[in-house]
Amino acid sequence: MTDLLRILIAPLVWLAAFISVYALHGLLCALQMHGMVLGIPLERLSLVTAYGLAILMQIVLLLAVYRGWPLAPSSEFVRFVSRVTGWTGLMATIWSLLPVMMTTSC
């Protein structure tokens, strides 16, 4: 099962991050949280922070997959597939949450 988890973990974390950021966005809009921090609108800052954390998490996962942490994969096949899905998680996070940097929030 650890092999299966290794393959699935990065896309799973992407899904969790994607839904969390979407939920955060909905919450910020619903609660109408306005205000500025360091000259940046509060809702933008929150979303960009969440975006950054999501990317960071994917980078950590990718490193873990490459280093075979916490357990080494049982085969070369599992190692290869988990690396591809690791990159998928990172790229999907960067691309699908990119709108937090670019569009109006509410």
Partner 1 sequence: MRALTRHRKLSAIWASEEGFKGWFSTVNHNDLGRMFLMTAFLFFLVGGLLAMLIRAQLATPHSAFAGPDIYNQIFTMHGTIMMFLFAIPTFEGLAIYLLPKMLGTRDLAFPRLTAYGYWCYVFGGAMLLVSMLLGIAPDGGWFMYPPLTGALYSKGINTDFWLIGITFVEISAIAAAVEITVSILKFRAPGMTLARMPIFGWYALITSLMILTGFPPLILGSILLEVERAFGFPFFQAELGGDSLLWQHLFWLFGHPEVYIIFLPAAGVVSTILPVMCRTSLLGYGWIVASMVALAFLSFGLWVHHMFATGIPHMGLAFFSAASTLVAIPTSVQVFAWIGTMWKGRPELHLPMLHIIGFFVTFIIGGLTGVMVAVVPFDWQAHDTAFVTAHLHYVLFGGFVFPMLAGIYYWLPHVSGRKRFFHLGELGFWLIFIGFHVTFLAMHWVGLLGQRRRISTYAPEDGWTQINLISSVGSFVLAIGIAIVMLDIILHALAQRKTRRNPWRAGTLEWAMLLPPPAYNFASLPEVTGRAPLGDDPKLANALARGEGYLGTPRNGWRETLMVDVASGRPEVLVLFPTNTQLPIAMSAVTGLFFLSLLIKVYWVTPLALAGVAALAWRWIWQGGRKNDLAPQTVRPGCDLPHSTAVDRAPGWWGSLFLLIANGTFLGSLLFGFAFLWTIAPGWPPPAWVDASAIEVGAGLLAAGTSATAIRAATRANDAGRPVLPALSIALTATLAMTFCCAALLWRTPAPTEHAYGATLFVLGSYGLFHTLLAVLMVVHLITRVLLGYTSVARRAEFPIIRLWLDYIAMIVALILLIGHMAGWFA
Q: Given the rule CB under 8 A, which residues bind partner 1?
A: 1-4, 7-8, 11-12, 14-15, 18-19, 21-23, 25-27, 29-31, 47, 74-78, 80-81, 84-85, 88, 92, 95-100, 102-106
Q: Which is nearer to partner 1, 19 or 42 (CB)?
A: 19
Q: Could you tell me the smallest distance in angstroms from the CB atom of residue 84 to partner 1?
A: 4
Tokens for 48? Answer: 């960009």
Burial class (CB in 10 A: 0-12, 13-18, 19+), 83: middle
Q: Which is nearer to partner 1, 56 or 71 (CB)?
A: 71
- Rounded to whole angstroms, what are the CA distances from 55 to 29, 32, 93? 23, 26, 6
Q: Could you tell me the smallest distance in angstroms from the CB atom of residue 52 to partner 1?
A: 16
Q: Which is nearer to partner 1, 69 or 77 (CB)?
A: 77
Q: Which is nearer to partner 1, 69 or 74 (CB)?
A: 74
